[in-house]
Structure 1
Amino acid sequence: MTRKMEFHGKVLAKGTALVMLGWLAATTAGRAQDANTSHSFSIPSQSVASALVRYSAVTGANIVYDGTLPATARSSAIQGQLPDRQALQQLLSGTGLGYTFGANDTITIVAPSAGAAAAGSNDETALQPIVLSGGDAPGSYDATESSVGTKTDTPLRDVPQSIQVVKRSVLEDQQATSLTEALENVSNVRESATSANRASSYMSRGFTSNSHAVDGVMLDGAANNPEYSTEPDMAGIERVEVLKGPASVLYGRGQPGGLINIVTRQPTEELTAEAKTQVGSYGFRRAEATISGPLDADGTLTGRIIGAAQHEGSFVNERPDSERQYIGGVLQWQPDTDTKVNLSVNHTHQDQPYDRGLVVSDDGKIHIPYDRFLGEDWSMVNSHKTQVALTAEHQAQDWLKFRGSVRYNQSLAHDRGIDFRGLEDDGRTLNRRYNLRTQDLTNLDLQFETVMTFDTGEIGHTVLAGVEHVRSSLDFWRERGNIAPIDIYDPVYGAPMTETSGLLDYTQDMISTSVYLQDQIDLSDQWKLLAGLRYDHFDQDTETRSGDPTPSMDDGALTWRAGIVYQPVDTLSFYTSYATSFMPQSGLGEGNTPLDPEKGWQIEAGVKADLIPDRLSATFSVFQITKNNVAVSVAGEDYSRLTGQQRSRGFEVDMTGEITSGWKVIGSLGYLDAEVTKDGDVSIIGNRLIGTPHWSGSLWTTYEFQEGKLEGLKLGTGITAIGKRYGDLENSFFVDGYYRLDASVSYKINENLDFSLIGRNLTDQRYIETTASRTDNYAGAPINVMAALKASF
């Protein structure tokens, strides 16, 4: 099978390269950029200073304005795809302010009394200027705007919930090859489990989520297990966003701890191309490439194609290698300034070992070496995932935008997985069984939304109204068989598969329909409100072709959120909010009874500040989350039970940006007190939730020399620290905390070629990275290195 996957990887890599070279040849003579560039704007009426900050973030222009402008000066709303100059004129209309253009994309905003003089003079010293750097500049770590918190382009400081963004510049500097590595940069967010190395689930603020969103749409509606998904490939990711706390008002079903949203890479207006090769410890090899640009003479049609192939060994002895191939493409059609249509398609294939990790002995310790494999070489998982998305938006009026999307994804996984059944009395003989399993999941999501921007008197509104319809279907087939046990201290491999029995065969269909409404209200320059309401109705039917029939489920949920933001100055926001969540459960209770949906709520308060205006920002937040109707699997059984209620409370600090020219930083610190507060088993009340440390944090920083002989040299270092964690709700065992020290060096060889080297776990710590039960514990890798060579054009 390995040879077959290598063959497919070579074919994919060669085919992708040929397509990219053909595209490059066809588009080298692409169009020149129009000097009067245009962008998509959604800036409601507000103070001129705040509006100019948002204009700068969208266009990348440097704005110079008089810091003593009257506080009563209020901008006009601008909405839609507009030329930059026209948008600025519209924004300033009625204020009496003027502007002049200077060098290096600098625009000077001129007070009324100075208007005539400025029109004929370049003297800006009398204005006591403040410079606003253009938004998310290439290579910066700091993000100023995100749509994940409101589904509108809103400054992060205006959203009354904590939102963290890990940009592609961070992923590149850290040579991140997995979503897990990207999320290590975010406070109180970390990998929860790997589901036997099939796919990762992630914990946010103490609660584990088995799914994520892509470009603002939740995936895999019928599934409540991560193994039905395939890991996203980093080649297609522009940035990773994390909305802390409940997100059901905008995204429907979900955990109250937060939402992970993956923003994909889009086409560019100019022709660009990149190719990167990575090699590392334990047989790691990876190649990826992308090309993007215009496809026609007038630039109304643009596109991007991405391809990647990866081979990865392991520090775990006897464990089989894994393979991954990814290919994706995006077409964007923009016939005029008011209309945009996107079509994206991507496919991921993985072939990887099924690995349950390490087992805990009766004394609550892991005594065997961390590089011990307790499976067999035939225990593998083969999975495919295809995603197709068609989105469109149209600016019907200055104040009215329509947008819609159709998204389809299909996941197919086959595995021969070996599960552990516990140790015998001798403490060394591990009983095992294996599953033959096929899981086929399809998901269709349709959304239609309107965005309305208007004023009622002196109060500004941005109203979002939407409907969503989701159809998901899961076909599941499984048989089981026992295989020979293994000695965990002296393993002998080669146990054959035996005959299987215990057929489980069913189809589970889920249909949900939702309506939602949200209003962002600018009461004044200092006070902003956010309120949202959503109703979801879902039907779940299970057709069982073996075993006992499963009852249908028909239910609904009303969720809401409200928040307020106070901004005494433009660079400081205080906020508080309340939000609720719900999550249908695909699992079953004893006797095949359906489980009630999980429901949760959160109260949060915090501060968002620009520590260095437009360069370095920080968020501090405190929160409490309560979740009811929590399902936990029963050891040795095929059903779950509801533990009752769990609570998480804590605080977080996140910081991103640039301290001085060339010195970038992204850091986080989190404290978490997560415990069981109600349960039928009173013995576990007060126990900590699985895998939740009290303290965790990370810091990553780089410095790039800006001049002299060392210009182009970039040095980086980082540390990740995680506290002690319990591995089950009984708190019968725990794994120790750990820290990991990383460092990197990179050098820009010339305009088009970069070399980088990163070392991880440089102190060679021996640690457990994730724990999920006594038979699901995964060790972190010892010291390892990775080198990359990237060419860009």
Structure 2
Amino acid sequence: MTAGFQKKTLAILVGMMMGAMPAWAADAAATTASPDDGAARDATTPAGNTLPGIKVQATRENAYGPVNGFVAYQGNGATKTGTPIHETPQSISVIGRDQLDDRNVTNLNDALHYTAGVATYYSNDTRNDAFEIRGFSSDFFYLDGSRLPAIPFRALDQFRVDPYTLERIEVIKGPASVLYGLGEPGGMVNMVSKMPTENARGQVDLLAGSYNHYGIGIDTSGPVDADKRVLYRFIAQETYSQNQVDSVHGNRTLIAPSLTLRPTNDTSLTLMATYLHDNTMDSNNFLPYYGTVAPTIFGQHISTSLPTSNPGYENYDKTQYSFSYLFEHHFDPNWTFKQNFRYSHVDLNNQALFGYSLSADQQTIQRAAMNLKSSFNDIDVDNQLLGKVKTGPVEHTVVAGFNFTNQNFMDNEGYTYTGYALNLYNPTALNLPVVTPSFNDTQMRQVQRQFGLYVQDQMKFNKLILVLSGREDWVSSTTLDNFTSSYTAQHSSAFSGRAGLMYLFDSGIAPYVSYSTSFQPVIGNDAYGSPFTPLRSKQVEVGVKYQPTFMNATFSAALFDLRQNNALTAAPDPALTGSVQTGQIRSRGLELEATAELTDNLKLLAAYTYQNVVITKGSALDPTVGLNPTATPRNYASLWLDYSLKAGPMRGLGFGAGVQYMGPTYATADNSLTVGSFTVADAAVHYDIPHWRFVLSANNLFDRTYVARCGNTTRCQYGERRNVLATARYSW
């Protein structure tokens, strides 16, 4: 990077702080097309002010397709209207296919490592994706705008999406109920599937890596007929891997075909199906605080490879599949109708032993035997009418919709808590008898239905943008416990809203302010026998986005105040058991994020998050009021740089390196025990030649041993050890 470029960059940053742009930058802004116009652009400036090697990349991008490089300009998850991210008054992060490929990503957790506001759990648990957004757990995932089956605070039977099938991942920060119905306060993750393409293409991927990780995948797409009225895509992958925990191994089978029908220029229907089967083992491997974070009284630490379950008993067998379609019809250039439908199903059979208490000598844990079977059926239908109208000088982009979701969940669980002790430092394989706990803990069937009506108006007057959104939901839930013969019916309604105001300066700076709300039903009754009411959340966010005209980049900063009301807290009367809903959790913080292609050769991802999450209200008997939740960091940051050679004999060779920092967290609800901060380094090398691409990546490059998180003193998890993966891709 030249000294001249550094000086001019500094001048721009000073100009931002002073509210003005340097003259040369203003000239460049006046002569360069907006990154949202879809045209190829090489930014130029007057003579004497040329920026060597700086090009603003072509951005022929839509919100449902590929991201050109690392920098995304369009998004759909926050508005459902395919709006430029720079014109959306809300914090949004987008991870595109190029970024996933350059970092050799194989799961959703890894994909989100370098995203502001998202704290992933970093553990080696292979069964689910687990992370927090702005300090709140994120259990609801969305695929192509449809909600996937989920039970809050329970990830065992999570419907998972393999990144191999994805074109992009959108992270919407803050409450999103106004367009999607019930959801968590921190935000949502919407994944966008790879779609059939007009041009014939294909690829075959071969994988090999640490812990005997092997795999093969195929992704082929193109037109079926000469007129390109019928397009197809077929994705399949088979992988096998062991784990840093001894004896843990498993395989995954993935199939995802899709077909697009375009009978007219105004009508399209895309049919999609997915099948995923995980046949592996229970890799949660919960360990005690003493022996992992802190040494035992004998100065010992538990090995990161120690299994706490039993290979002869444990099993994690999950089958999931879905059928969906995306329908779209244009009545004219201004009005469009869309209908998205998805049916999803999950079956899980999970057996494992897990530790739940530590002996006084800190040598032995008592384990419970678990036998869990569950089944999900989920239907999600979203109807949308989108239009563009003008009222005088004001341009309106409106969407009105009706959403219906039906989720049917069956859960059988059994536990046995005696007879399964394990010495952590002198383990002896237990030849367990066939453990079949009777299903006497839970035999539950739960049905939840949600109806939602929503409307949104995105108004633009010159450089001023105002977004107003509103939604009313009606939710009914019935729960039947066959073991206790109890039946609970709950009915609730909720209004969710959002208002956002933004101003677009010619310099590329766009300050904004927004207010949004969300709700989340809670199943069950309180300590007084009354049905729980939904959790209600609200957020105020103030931020600024910067999209420079002289380079391919986006920068953002956001301050947020997020509060969840009606949170569960201990009953105020010690004679009562259960909870009441007088609690409140508050998250305040700052997010900084930059995604940039600094030169033709150098790409940058940078993120920093500060969040102060506090339990601000509770009953008189709740000892956690004023304290921080467990496993929730206050500070975390990441940086990734990728340099590629575009000329010379080594053209096509690239190098990536990253570092991730996670601040300390609390291991106990009373905040008396802490888990230390950790920093891990990642690296990747990629090489492109005609038809071939090779990537060699290493997560936790220096093989640091660290504890990723503790839910309490007996539920600590080691972080992932060094994991090397090589991918060879042949494309045509």
Please tell me the TM-score bracket, short chain as reference.
0.7 to 0.9
Q: CA deviation at 1:358?
A: 3.7
Partner of 2:413: 478
Of 696, 705, 710, the match for 2:650: 710
Deviations 1:404-458 (A, max 9, x none): 1221100110111323221132322211111221100101111111001010001
What is the rounded CA distance, in whole Å, between the counterparts of 1:665 and 1:412 in structure 2? 41
Q: Are 1:344 and 2:280 an aligned pair? A: no
Partner of 1:569, secondary structure, is coil
What TM-score, normalized to structure 1?
0.81
Q: Is the 8 A contact 1:651 1:670 kept in 2?
A: yes
Q: CA deviation at 1:360?
A: 2.6
Overall identity of the aligned pairs, in %: 26
Q: Is the 8 A contact 2:480 2:488 kept in 1?
A: no
Partner of 1:36: none
Of 255, 278, 284, the match for 1:327: 255
Partner of 1:62: 40
What is the rounded CA distance, in whole Å, between the counterparts of 2:548 and 2:488 in structure 1? 56
What is the rounded CA distance, in whole Å, between the counterparts of 1:351 and 1:198 in structure 2? 10
Q: Are 1:216 and 2:107 an aligned pair? A: no
Partner of 1:460: 395
Deviations 1:563-598 (A, max 9, x none): 100112162211110000111123565587643211
**How is 1:609-628 mapped onto 2 (pairs within 5 angstroms)?**
609-611=546-548, 613=550, 615-628=552-565
Distance verdict in 2 for CA 1:49–1:447, change over 3 Å: farther
Q: CA deviation at 1:640?
A: 6.5
Structure with bigger helix share is 1
Partner of 1:15: none
Distance verdict in 2 for CA 1:706–1:131, change over 3 Å: closer
Q: CA deviation at 1:149?
A: 1.0
Which AA in structure 1 matches 2:195?
A: Q
Partner of 2:336: 401
Of 709, 733, 736, the match for 2:673: 733
Partner of 2:171: 242
Distance verdict in 2 for CA 1:161–1:784, change over 3 Å: same
Of 34, 59, 67, the match for 1:134: 59
What is the rounded CA distance, in whole Å, between the counterparts of 1:193 and 1:669 in structure 2? 17
Partner of 1:653: 592
Partner of 2:323: 388
Stretch deviating more after TM superposition (556-565 or 567-576): 567-576
Partner of 2:211: 282
Q: CA deviation at 1:333?
A: 1.1
Q: CA deviation at 1:783?
A: 2.6
Partner of 1:177: 106
What is the rounded CA distance, in whole Å, between the counterparts of 2:562 and 2:31 in structure 1? 32
Stretch deviating more after TM superposition (231-240 or 573-582): 231-240
Q: CA deviation at 1:211?
A: 1.8
Q: Are 1:310 and 2:249 an aligned pair? A: no
Partner of 1:74: none
Q: Is the 8 A contact 1:357 1:775 kept in 2?
A: no
Partner of 1:226, secondary structure, is coil
What is the rounded CA distance, in whole Å, between the counterparts of 1:287 and 1:631 in structure 2? 46
What is the rounded CA distance, in whole Å, between the counterparts of 1:355 and 1:590 in structure 2? 35
Q: Is the 8 A contact 1:221 1:470 kept in 2?
A: no
Of 480, 486, 493, the match for 1:556: 493
Distance verdict in 2 for CA 1:722–1:745, change over 3 Å: same
Deviations 1:748-789 (A, max 9, x none): 2x3101112112222221112233232322212223322111
Q: Is the 8 A contact 2:569 2:618 kept in 1?
A: no
Q: Is the 8 A contact 1:562 1:579 kept in 2?
A: yes
Distance verdict in 2 for CA 1:691–1:135, change over 3 Å: farther
Partner of 2:455: 517
Partner of 1:427: 362
**How is 1:438-587 mapped onto 2 (pairs within 5 angstroms)?**
438-482=373-417, 483-496=419-432, 497-498=434-435, 500-501=437-438, 502-524=440-462, 526-569=463-506, 571-586=508-523
Partner of 1:251: 180
Partner of 2:628: 688
Q: Is the 8 A contact 1:599 1:627 kept in 2?
A: yes
**How is 1:600-611 mapped onto 2 (pairs within 5 angstroms)?**
600-611=537-548
Q: Are 1:783 and 2:732 an aligned pair? A: no
What is the rounded CA distance, in whole Å, between the counterparts of 1:305 and 1:638 in structure 2? 53
What TM-score, normalized to structure 2?
0.88
Aligned length, in residue pairs? 678
Distance verdict in 2 for CA 1:542–1:196, change over 3 Å: farther
Structure 2 residue runs without a partner (length 5+)? 1-28, 47-54, 296-300
Stretch deviating more after TM superposition (328-337 or 132-141): 132-141
Partner of 2:303: 369
Q: CA deviation at 1:398?
A: 2.1
Q: Are 1:768 and 2:693 an aligned pair? A: no
Which AA in structure 1 matches 2:307?
A: F
Q: Is the 8 A contact 2:289 2:714 kept in 1?
A: no
Structure 1 residue runs without a partner (length 5+)? 1-47, 69-129
Partner of 1:98: none
Partner of 1:168: 97
Which AA in structure 2 matches 1:520?
A: Q
Q: Is the 8 A contact 1:623 1:650 kept in 2?
A: yes
Partner of 2:178, secondary structure, is helix
Distance verdict in 2 for CA 1:586–1:382, change over 3 Å: farther
Which AA in structure 2 matches 1:307?
A: A
Runs of 4+ in structure 1 over 6 Å off:
48-52, 64-68, 193-196, 637-641
**How is 1:118-129 mapped onto 2 (pairs within 5 angstroms)?**
none
Of 751, 755, 758, the match for 2:694: 755
Q: Is the 8 A contact 1:62 1:134 kept in 2?
A: yes
What is the rounded CA distance, in whole Å, between the counterparts of 1:450 and 1:267 in structure 2? 24
What is the rounded CA distance, in whole Å, between the counterparts of 2:262 and 2:660 in structure 1? 43
Q: Are 1:267 and 2:267 an aligned pair? A: no
Partner of 1:701: 641
Partner of 2:156, secondary structure, is helix
Partner of 1:95: none
What is the rounded CA distance, in whole Å, between the counterparts of 1:462 and 1:787 in structure 2? 45
Q: Is the 8 A contact 1:666 1:700 kept in 2?
A: yes
Q: Is the 8 A contact 1:587 1:640 kept in 2?
A: no
